[in-house]
Amino acid sequence: MLARGKEIILLITLLGIIVLSLTAHTIFAYPGIRTHVPQGLPWYPLAAFGDNRPEDTASVNLPSTYHQLISEVLAARPFALLGTGDHVGSGRLDQIIEFLNSLVGVENVLVIEGNHDVGPAHSYWLKEVAPEMYYWDGVPGWRVVLFSTEISRTEYGRLRAFLDTALNTSRHVILVFHRPAYPNVNYNMDPSMRSILMDEIRKFGNVEIVLQGHWHGFAEELVNETLFIITGGAGAPLYQSGGRNHYLYIVLEPGGGYEVIPVALGPGSGDLVVERSGSEVTIVNTKVGINGSPVKVPVRVRLPIEGIDAYAVMMVPPGATSVSAVVENGKIVASINGSTNKWYIYYETPGGAVVNASDDGSPLSLPAPPSTGYLTLTATTHELIEETITVTLPRTTTRTVTETATETIATTATRTITETVTETGIETTTYTVTAAPSTGTPSAADIGVAVIAGVAGALITYAVARRR
């Protein structure tokens, strides 16, 4: 397991650039921002979307409704963004690069491929974005499990084996995939795949939410206490008569409670604007839901306190809401002006998050953190003991990384961590390499680099980066 607040990122160059990120239980290919999700918070906002491909599938340009979505997600700052597929027109590399560029600044992007993402060169998606099956344990009490519905029938056994592993957990589960199982919209997954899926859901009994795309609209159905949602309205032409472009916010409680909030996109959908002025942050929410009524939106903002990395997370009702904060008498004191009731404030320390919450809009306070040491990683000395990458056909990849890190948190705390992470995922290149040990003393954005040899003498350069 990776230590709390840590991330290992592996950058590989092999006759081109393939970017892979390793965290416990997860192999990511997308080189976007991977942030630690604080533990111990009362609830966690996420966002979800699907089918943002352009109408002209040959186009590189993504729809304006999708760009509106990204702008609002950047303002709301959910802890993760989930994608149900068909994020590009035809799976070309230039389209994928455009999609990845659009996500810069979004935290913890977890997407799965749809039929339009695969295209004639399936390897582009697998190399540059994400594998066909993976899962993420970032939110306490929850696991997000993603798998491709574009695999062939000959790989259904591999799917069942993956679900046997991924669903075998005490956590509550969100499933994410492209072709829907339910409701029946005449754009559904293969019946044999649905049979496997439902067998696995019944077997473990912990799947709370299923997010799907492919059908361009919004639909939902409760099947045996599991909520199946189709969210296919992020920009592709709508199939649904009278439907609206949309995306979702999902609020998760560690104990298993949740709330799903569909939010409209496009003309007449309103705006979400976050403005900072001095010691105050103002959120203006004119968003509407898919039924056209005003809707609340979960928003996370950095508190306006100089030199302290503290945050407020709130359910923002329609209208204007402002948050102010000061440090007085050794405490952070924050207040909210508006009709918001549900909110909390927090900051992180090396020992975990310090948090205070309210369900009635009352002012909140926290003990002020030490003047130094609680948030600034000033130096990390790390030693890469060993890293082994083994790839065997058909595209099964196992990576094992062992590393020792000594961290200095400003001037007040140090800690030494030894970690071994083993991951299994999907790749398309066949090679086996083992890294020689490499040491270094990087900066806060520390990167230690070594050079190793691959198949046919191809040069592979990798870097291990450790960030809070």
Question: What is the pLDDT, as a whole number, of residue 369?
Answer: 85
Q: Per the structure block, which two tokens stand in for 359?
A: 């369900």
Strand partners, 392: 396
The per-residue pLDDT for range 364-393, each reduced to its tens digit, is 999 988 764 444 444 444 444 554 545 444
Question: What is the pLDDT, as a whole number, of residue 386?
Answer: 53
The per-residue pLDDT for range 57-74, each reduced to its tens digit, is 999 999 999 999 999 999
Does the residue 462 lie in any domain? no
Task: List CB contacts of 203: < 8 A, sequence separation 6 or more.
Answer: 167
Same domain, 75 and 189: yes
Q: Per the structure block, which two tokens stand in for 334?
A: 């924050």
Does the residue 49 lie in any domain? yes
Q: Per the structure block, which two tokens stand in for 390?
A: 């083994």
Question: What is the pLDDT, as a whole number, of residue 404?
Answer: 56
Does the residue 12 lie in any domain? no
Same domain, 239 and 280: no
Domain termination residue (choose one: 248, 264, 280): 264
Domain termination residue (choose one: 215, 247, 264): 264
Which CATH number characterizes residue 64's domain?
A: 3.60.21.10
User: What distance separates the 2 farthest-apart alpha carbons in the chain?
Assistant: 66
Pairwise CA distance, residues 111 & 124, whole Å: 14
Same domain, 234 and 302: no
Question: What is the pLDDT, as a whole number, of residue 457?
Answer: 28
Does the residue 428 lie in any domain? no
- Judged by DSSP in three states, 163 sits in helix
Same domain, 341 and 193: no
Q: Per the structure block, which two tokens stand in for 441?
A: 């003393």
Task: List CB contacts of 394: < 8 A, sequence separation 6 or more.
Answer: none
Same domain, 222 and 339: no
Pairwise CA distance, residues 440 & 464, whole Å: 11
User: 27 and 131 in contact (C-beta within 8 Å)?
Assistant: yes
Same domain, 247 and 281: no
Rg over CA atoms, the chain = 22
Question: What is the pLDDT, as a whole number, of residue 342?
Answer: 95
Q: Identify the domain containing residue 358 by its residue range.
A: 272-367
Same domain, 187 and 280: no
Same domain, 180 and 310: no
Pairwise CA distance, residues 232 & 135, whole Å: 21
Domain termination residue (choose one: 367, 391, 410): 367
Does the residue 435 lie in any domain? no
Question: What is the pLDDT, as a whole number, of residue 162?
Answer: 97
Same domain, 164 and 90: yes
Pairwise CA distance, residues 110 & 108, whole Å: 6
Residue 100 sits at the vertex; the CA angle it makes with 97 and 101, to the nearest 5 degrees, is 85
Low-confidence ranges of the chain (pLDDT < 70): 1-33, 371-468
Same domain, 311 and 234: no
Place of tokens 């989930």: 82
Pairwise CA distance, residues 322 & 91, whole Å: 43
Place of tokens 């990395």: 309
Handedness of CA 274, 276, 279, 282 (dihedral sign): negative
Q: Per the structure block, which two tokens stand in for 436?
A: 């020689």
User: 76 and 285 in contact (C-beta within 8 Å)?
Assistant: no
Question: What is the pLDDT, as a whole number, of residue 419?
Answer: 45
What total number of domains does the chain contain? Answer: 2
Element (H, E) at 278: none
Question: What is the pLDDT, as a whole number, of residue 338?
Answer: 80
Same domain, 241 and 327: no
Q: Is 455 exposed, middle or buried (0-12, 13-18, 19+ CB in 10 A)?
A: middle
Pairwise CA distance, residues 118 & 133, whole Å: 14
Place of tokens 């592979």: 460
Does the residue 17 lie in any domain? no
Same domain, 217 and 258: yes
Pairwise CA distance, residues 140 & 256, whole Å: 10
Pairwise CA distance, residues 264 & 173, whole Å: 25
Does the residue 441 lie in any domain? no
CA dihedral 341, 347, 348, 353 (to 10 degrees): -30
Residue 250 sits at the vertex; the CA angle it makes with 245 and 253, to the nearest 5 degrees, is 175
Give 159-163's long-range contacts (Cβ < 8 A, gap of 24+). 159/133, 159/193, 159/196, 160/196, 160/199, 160/200, 162/133, 163/196, 163/197, 163/200
Provide the edge-to-edge strand list for the sheet that holds 319-328: 272-277, 280-285, 319-328, 331-337, 364-367
Does the residue 211 lie in any domain? yes
